[in-house]
Structure 1
């Protein structure tokens, strides 16, 4: 796939999506969001891809969010955020934060399954500084971090930035690593996930995310539906247990 704003690579069943505008701190314009949507569609539809990593080029920024200069000049034509939940991707997604994340870049953080951050990475929101409502990103962030911390991002703007270490302490970020270990560590995790049953992993991820849409008792019903469907319809359910009992590597079905 030929892209102008992102890099897209697939190897060992892992897709790596890199927002590639380091000269603009990886800010996203209309074309970037369009290309991200195309990349997520490839991740969703390609059965060879089992895990995705999303990161940014360079070491200063993961993404500075919406390209304000481009928007000020021509407005926004593509309003669909370029993150996985908006494109119905249920394969595991690892967000590798190589630097600061600002504004709309928080979509990628909020929507990822696992978040690995370089020590110097930080979360910042500037929506209110430029007259934009900060509401879409928080719909998911509020399910992953305390309300007070989301309010800090929104109301304190640049002064409310959250460091990678603080993000780890509040449970948003899974691991904080030295910058020179970030991509290697993200890939280590991705390779381990890629060995699991693709169908089982995707059903588990979709079930967990779907449970966030409803209350506790309804969430149990949603989760149980995914469990039963997998047990009754997919051969990997029995294959995993047989392989364990027979002390061999499982032979997963790739749909």
Structure 2
């Protein structure tokens, strides 16, 4: 895979995507969003990839926001289409991947950057990270799922405050709010993400994909998450991973999941 705005590395089941626009503080433009979609799609379809970490290049920013120059003169219709397309090809797409995605937030995660991090299955952050949704200071609102996912993660009251003040919070506050799972130093951020990834990779990738689907169902309008859980639980019984996992348990050995 050859890209202009991102770097992709694969090693022993772990894929790392690095957004690589350091002069723009890794801001998301249309080309980068499309490249990210293509990379996530290819990696999700690769049976050798068990988990994905996404981070930003440099030490200043994960993603400092969207590239405002691309849409400053958009019409109402163009603005709506920008949000609709972006949510479809990247943010909703990542949230619903069967391959787990960890966001390693290494600095500023603002606007579209925080929205991207929130679309990942969970987040870890460096202690210098700053997070926020400053869109109302530009006369617009978050358009890549920010109003919805932030409310889900930190609650309505905190989400309202963060959106309306357009303020930034520290990594420590983000952890206290439940927005990120762990905070560590800049130097230890990727090693921590990789350590968590290694723990995940010991388990059944098929079961993890089913769990992602069941958890996400709880936040989907018109879907009964309990019913999805029941269905996915039942489906697991027909997998080779289930046979291997239960057999290994009974034989008192570590499982060797085939991923099927």
Aligned residue for 2:154, secondary structure, equals coil
What's the counterpart of residue 33 of structure 2?
A: 33
Choose which of 110, 123, 129 in structure 2 pairs with 1:121. Answer: 129
Partner of residue 250 from structure 2, selected from 240, 245, 248: 245
What is the distance in 2 between the residues matched to 1:212 and 1:123? 23
| CA root-mean-square deviation | 2.1
The answer for the alignment partner of 1:133 in structure 2 is 141
Matches within 5 A, 1:91-240: 91-134=99-142, 136-157=145-166, 160-214=167-221, 218-231=224-237, 233-240=238-245
Instruction: Tell me the alpha carbon deviations over residues 143-180 of structure 1, each in whole angstroms, 9 at most, x when there is no partner.
Output: 111212211221111xx211111111122211000111
Displacement of 1:55 in angstroms is 0.5
In 1, the alpha carbon distance for the partners of 2:154 and 2:147 equals 10
What is the deviation of 1:123?
A: 0.8
8 A contact 2:154–2:178 mirrored in 1: yes
CA distance in 2, matches of 1:37, 1:181: 27
Q: Does the aligned pair in 2 maintain the 1:18–1:55 contact within 8 Å?
A: yes
> Match of 1:62, SS?
strand
Q: Secondary structure at the match of 1:247?
A: coil
**Stretch moving more, 239-248 or 20-29:** 239-248
Unaligned stretches of 5+ residues in structure 1: none
**TM-score of the superposition, structure 1-length normalised?**
0.91
Q: Does the aligned pair in 1 maintain the 2:133–2:146 contact within 8 Å?
A: no
- Displacement of 1:12: 1.2
Residue 17 of structure 2 corresponds to which residue in structure 1? 17
Structure 1 residue 132 displacement after superposition: 1.8
User: What is the deviation of 1:215?
Assistant: 7.5
Q: Which consecutive residues of structure 2, in runs of 5 or more, have no partner in the other structure? A: none
Asked whether 1:58 is paired with 2:79, we answer no
The answer to whether the 8 Å contact 1:80/1:86 transfers is no
- How far apart, in 1, do the equivalents of 2:221 and 2:133 lie? 28
Q: TM-score, normalising length from structure 2?
A: 0.89
